[in-house]
Amino acid sequence: MAYAALLSLTQTLEQILHSHDQSRILHEEKQITSLYEKLSFLLSFLEDSTHKYSETITSLEGRIRDATYKAEDIIESSMSERIREATYEAEDIIESNMSKPACHGVISTWFGEKNSPPAFLQCKRSMDNLEQKYEGLQKVIEELDSISKDVEKMNDIEDLQPSMPDGSSKSSSSYNSTMVEFDDDLMQITELPSQLESISVVEMEGIEDVVEMDRNDLEDLQQRNSLSATSSKFASTNKSTMVGFDDDFHQIKERLVGQSSMLKIISIVGMGGIGKTTLARNVYNDSYIVHHFDIRAWTTLSQKYNVQELLTSLLNSMTDVGHKLYQMKIEELKETLNKKLQCNRYLIVMDDVWETNAWEEVRRVFPDKNNGSRIILTTRLSNVAVYADSSSPVHRMNFLSLEQSLKLLNKEVFGEECCPSELEGIRTTIAKQCKGLPLALVVIGGLLNKSEKTRAYWEYVAKNVKSAVTGNYDDFVEILSLSYNHLPHHLRTCFLYMGVFPEDYVIHVSYLIRLWVAEGFLKLIIPKSLEEVAKEYLEDLIDRNLIMVQDRSYSGELKTCSIHDLIRDLIVRKAQEEKFLHVMNQKVEIFPGIIKNQRRLSIHREIRFDVGDMYDSTVRSLLHLADGLLSINICFPLLRVLDARNITFSMFPIEIVQLVNLRYIALIYTGKRKIPASISKLCNLQTLIVFRRLRFGKDRILYLPSEILKMPQLRHLLVEAGFLPCPSDSGNGNLQTLTGVIDFRCTKEALGRIPNLKTLGISYRYGSRTKWSIYCLENLVNLHQLETLKCRFVPKSWIRQLVLPAVDLAFPPNLKKLTLSGCRISWKNMSTCGSLPNLEVLKLKYFDFEDSVWKTNEGEFRKLKFLHIGCYNLEFWEVEGTHFPSFQCLSLGYCPRLKCIPSEIGEIPTLQLIALFGCEKSVVTSAYSIQEEQQDLGNDGLQVHNHKDFYKIGNSFRKMYMSNELDPANKLPILSEEDLPSKLTFKQGYVCSSQRYNVSSLQQIIQG
């Protein structure tokens, strides 16, 4: 898409223009400067929020995208050739490996039987002729110049466009037609026939003969737009189907008639199609609500609202002035409406609000006379709800449960009758695929209601639910597309990228952010890092109810997220229309011509490519997320992102070092233990993730070259059991993540060369004669930017039990998360840990204290929210209720000598959960005693989870606690066999029930 292409290329040009290398890509630096100026102008144009989504803008974006892609291909291919020529000694390395078996995977061997380089590596090939590239780029600049002139003309027209009193343009006003809108959750009818433009909303009874539509749709239309209970019979006589919203209904109703006499604003928030308007309408039409309020009014705003029409529609149901309202100015309308509401208890529903400006325009119109008046807002945007009233809790709509989904589907298909027994199983399958979205259930229910109720047909529908929903109800696509159209360009890019993930995929946020950064989707906002900008983008998409949160840490940090299947389906369609992303999920043979001109490929099924000459491919990203292996004998010379996590290479694919545009690499290989030093030639690489399948022995160690830290753009280095020599001459100020490193010597010189680390994961092997002083662990205090530290100590031999080593640690001052495993530290170190001002998460695993009694002190662990203790020698823990003032969760596992949990723990007011894993009976008894004591004091919020078997529950126990997925009889999670792999994370060797689950460390570390 246009914005992503522009942003990516402008960043590349900035790098060129600011490069110290005097050898430019093209003859004329003026050409690069001219191109940069034109791209910057068009980028600013797209970033201008005043340009709304329209066919004209869409057409311009297509032209901008195609021209920018052409320029990007020319420039990056030239850059690649220049870098290859400058470092052509890599050919010797490749030839030395030619006698070894070829790597089967994404990268080809690049050499045929004659041992000659391929065509695209030959320096004098005609395609790389400098003059041709110069002329090609000049043509692109001329095209961009033409586009820029069209943009300027469009801007001039917009400047001349007459404005309405509220600031909107006349072209967007609906003064010449009557605007009638269904709920965004049902459908939209944007315009009635012209002969109806003089008919007021309250006079719509009996127009069935004029408007050709289903009677039920018409009655719903009339009901949605009737603004007063006293003026229109349709507002109070017709209720829409409401299944699964009983609790929501009662909660909203209680807030409407609550004892508070102050004006209250109640915001109902959720994604499109989740039933916000249905809920609001049923409350609005409830007989008690009708009786309780003197005046009720309903108005739908949608994205294209007009203040004058909004005010007129509200007044039209409250006054007899009729057509005179249309002659009044905005201020007169506001004054009239305010007077009308002054002496009445009123209920106003503002449905489908998209802008904070919409509320700001009218909020002063609604008087607060302490008479219990209420306003309901429905919106997809959390920021709109918070802006309207930050002191009032937002009512968030949740997806329906399977039981509720079945009930709604049955009602839509069979009414009050029962589903035939032969269709019950298929009905359940269909309901599951709707994923709890009421709109989808209603649409598919309507389809099944009008069709033959045979098993064969229902089985067909069950296999094609998404296409059945979107194909039989165009407005469904439009309803969900509204959210996309409302996104600013920088969020559209990131949102469409979510299509790379398969259905039901749990997306680890750290993984997603690294991909966004590598793709060049983010614009640096100083002083924030790109990763911080990405987190803000993600939170924004969540606030817009387009992305669902799966899990957060106790510090509130996002850990995993997902997208609804139907939203994902629309994303994939839109991404392919925009030439942004191509998803391969069919088990078919793909020929080079199909993928040659794609920009991003995401592979979800086992696919075999036809061998072909792909030297001129435009593919920039290749993500292989299929379960099976992949066999490809092609290469993509302009590749930026290579995620080959599910492909096992027999050796490290040395050909990768020739792909100089690479920014992201994730792969596995089983052969040689050493990553070649030539990896440092990848001067653009930002993320490197490398693992090996070998699990035991010395061969498991991965040796990293010292040159790896010289890579100027490297930000994240994740390996498994990797040995990294101490950097001696130069370092990397960009490196933020370093995990999986073993026996790293933390000398001042070494740490000084990686000063901006935020995440560090290190392991140390030890024996009976290990001298810890050589590792200089006390120097960790010098990593002032470090926020997450995982430090693990592992014996070299498991044959005989070794005493846990006593290590002297000094903790960096800004740590937020600390994990220590397999060691023993002094009380001095423990006190230092407790004094860390920002520490929120502390995990002590296979751990020993200096002695058997732990006494916490006042003033320590001020921000600690999560504490896990797995300590062999701990017997007594002395604590007071004023300690740990921010504490939320205590997790205990393998503490065989601990007698009990101190009762004072229960006095901590913020404590929510005590989780026990394989603890002694006395510890379990003390935990339940604390819970019972708190319940007697009126605190029902504290929960105790006792897991009798010693296995590790991953990120899901907080989720189970919040969703009440617990059996109160035995305090164990209620999980079916099919739920186990997704809800529990098992380390190799742990067994649950009758099955053994092994989770690849690659998947855990890449994604988490």
Cα separation, 175 vs 164, whole angstroms? 10
- 422-436, 818-832, 975-989: the lowest-pLDDT one: 975-989
161: left (phi over 0), alpha (psi -120 to 50) or beta: beta
Percentages (nearest 5) of helix, strand, coil residues in the chain: 40, 15, 45
Domain 170-193+213-396 annotated CATH 3.40.50.300:
yes
Per-residue pLDDT, 211: 25
Delimit the domains of the chain by residue range: 2-160, 170-193+213-396, 402-477, 487-580
pLDDT of 983-1008, one tens digit each?
333 332 222 322 333 333 333 333 44
Q: Tally Cβ neighbours within 10 Å of residue 761.
A: 18
188 φ, ψ to 5°? Answer: -125, 135
- DSSP structure class, residue 968: T
CA distances from 934 to 246, 682, 923, 1005 (A): 31, 59, 17, 39
Structure tokens at 499: 């299509």
pLDDT band at 243 (very low <50, low <70, confident <90, very high): confident
Among candidate residues 502, 496, 439, the one with its CA nearest the CA of residue 472: 439
Cα separation, 571 vs 206, whole angstroms? 41
pLDDT band at 870 (very low <50, low <70, confident <90, very high): very high
Cα separation, 618 vs 77, whole angstroms? 10
Q: What is the pTM of this model?
A: 0.80
| SS3 label, residue 995 | strand
809 φ, ψ to 5°? Answer: -115, 145
- 85-94, 259-268, 764-773: the lowest-pLDDT one: 85-94
pLDDT of 725-734, one tens digit each?
877 677 788 9
Cα separation, 474 vs 468, whole angstroms? 11
Cα separation, 11 vs 524, whole angstroms? 10
**CB-based burial label for 847 (10 Å; 0-12, 13-18, 19+):** buried
Per-residue pLDDT, 629: 55
- 3-12, 172-181, 870-879: the lowest-pLDDT one: 172-181
- 20-34, 381-395, 501-515: the lowest-pLDDT one: 20-34
Q: Which fold has domain 402-477?
A: Helicase, Ruva Protein; domain 3 (1.10.8)
Among candidate residues 715, 649, 651, 650, the one with its CA nearest the CA of residue 682: 715
**CB-based burial label for 840 (10 Å; 0-12, 13-18, 19+):** buried
Q: Is pLDDT larger for residue 108 or for residue 6?
A: 6
Per-residue pLDDT, 286: 93
The full 3-state SS of 871-911, as one line of letters, equals ECCCCEEECCCCCCCCCCEEEEECCCCCCCCCHHHHHCCCC
Among candidate residues 645, 583, 515, 601, the one with its CA nearest the CA of residue 105: 645
Examine the pLDDT at 802 and tell me if it is beyond 60. yes
Examine the pLDDT at 976 and tell me if it is beyond 70. no
Q: Which fold has domain 487-580?
A: Arc Repressor Mutant, subunit A (1.10.10)
Q: Do the Cβ atoms of 685 and 704 come closer than 8 Å?
A: no
Q: Tally Cβ neighbours within 10 Å of residue 640.
A: 24
Cα separation, 511 vs 737, whole angstroms? 12
Query: Mean pLDDT over residues 322-327, rounded?
Result: 70
Per-residue pLDDT, 329: 87
Q: Is pLDDT larger for residue 793 or for residue 473?
A: 793
Q: Do the Cβ atoms of 843 and 820 come closer than 8 Å?
A: yes
List beta partners, residue 689. 666, 718
Mean pLDDT rounded to a whole number for the chain = 77
pLDDT band at 26 (very low <50, low <70, confident <90, very high): very low
Q: Is pLDDT larger for residue 515 or for residue 97?
A: 515
Per-residue pLDDT, 983: 32
pLDDT of 692-705, one tens digit each?
776 555 567 889 99
Examine the pLDDT at 506 and tell me if it is beyond 70. yes
Q: What angle do CA 272, 274, 277 make, to 5 degrees?
A: 85
Cα separation, 907 vs 927, whole angstroms? 13
Among candidate residues 869, 817, 872, 821, the one with its CA nearest the CA of residue 848: 872
Structure tokens at 224: 């949605």
Query: Mean pLDDT over residues 284-291, rounded?
Result: 93
Query: Mean pLDDT over residues 51-65, rounded?
Result: 77
Cα separation, 704 vs 718, whole angstroms? 11
Q: Do the Cβ atoms of 512 and 635 come closer than 8 Å?
A: no
Per-residue pLDDT, 966: 31
Examine the pLDDT at 639 and tell me if it is beyond 70. yes
pLDDT band at 540 (very low <50, low <70, confident <90, very high): very high
Query: Mean pLDDT over residues 716-720, rounded?
Result: 94
Examine the pLDDT at 942 and tell me if it is beyond 60. yes
Structure tokens at 65: 């995208």
Per-residue pLDDT, 20: 61
List beta partners, residue 788. 759, 817
pLDDT band at 378 (very low <50, low <70, confident <90, very high): very high
pLDDT of 129-140, one tens digit each?
567 777 888 899
Examine the pLDDT at 583 and tell me if it is beyond 50. yes
Examine the pLDDT at 782 and tell me if it is beyond 50. yes
Q: Do the Cβ atoms of 565 and 433 come closer than 8 Å?
A: yes
Per-residue pLDDT, 958: 38
Largest CA distance in the chain: 96
Per-residue pLDDT, 922: 93
Among candidate residues 802, 747, 734, the one with its CA nearest the CA of residue 775: 747
Per-residue pLDDT, 91: 47
Note if the bond before 527 is cis, omega within 30 degrees: yes
Structure tokens at 253: 């109703």
Instruction: Taking each helix axis as running N to C, give the angle between helix 29-47 and helix 55-86, from 0 to 180 degrees, rounded to the nearest 10.
Output: 150
Per-residue pLDDT, 18: 79
595 φ, ψ to 5°? Answer: -105, -5
pLDDT band at 744 (very low <50, low <70, confident <90, very high): very high
- 212-216, 487-491, 553-557, 903-907: the lowest-pLDDT one: 212-216
Among candidate residues 844, 839, 845, 792, the one with its CA nearest the CA of residue 812: 839
535 φ, ψ to 5°? Answer: -65, -40
Examine the pLDDT at 641 and tell me if it is beyond 60. yes
817 φ, ψ to 5°? Answer: -135, 130
Q: Is pLDDT larger for residue 913 or for residue 260?
A: 913
Per-residue pLDDT, 800: 59
Query: Mean pLDDT over residues 366-381, rounded?
Result: 94
pLDDT band at 975 (very low <50, low <70, confident <90, very high): very low
Q: Is pLDDT larger for residue 982 or for residue 535?
A: 535
pLDDT of 462-497, one tens digit each?
988 887 777 656 677 888 888 888 899 999 999 999
Q: Do the Cβ atoms of 226 and 232 come closer than 8 Å?
A: yes
Percent of all residues in the chain with a pLDDT value above 70, rounded to a whole number: 74
- 603-612, 704-713, 887-896, 897-906: the lowest-pLDDT one: 603-612
Cα separation, 816 vs 834, whole angstroms? 12
Query: Fold match between 170-193+213-396 and 402-477?
Result: no
Examine the pLDDT at 265 and tell me if it is beyond 50. yes
Query: Mean pLDDT over residues 720-744, rounded?
Result: 87
pLDDT band at 153 (very low <50, low <70, confident <90, very high): confident
Q: Do the Cβ atoms of 347 and 377 come closer than 8 Å?
A: no
pLDDT of 379-437, one tens digit each?
999 999 999 998 889 999 999 999 999 999 999 999 889 999 999 999 999 999 899 99
Examine the pLDDT at 615 and tell me if it is beyond 60. no
Examine the pLDDT at 281 and tell me if it is beyond 80. yes
- 166-180, 331-345, 415-429, 534-548: the lowest-pLDDT one: 166-180
Cα separation, 672 vs 93, whole angstroms? 15
Query: Mean pLDDT over residues 155-170, rounded?
Result: 52
Query: Mean pLDDT over residues 778-783, rounded?
Result: 93
Per-residue pLDDT, 700: 75
Q: Tally Cβ neighbours within 10 Å of residue 472.
A: 14
- DSSP structure class, residue 194: G
Cα separation, 934 vs 755, whole angstroms? 46
Per-residue pLDDT, 85: 62
Per-residue pLDDT, 509: 95
Per-residue pLDDT, 697: 52
Per-residue pLDDT, 499: 93
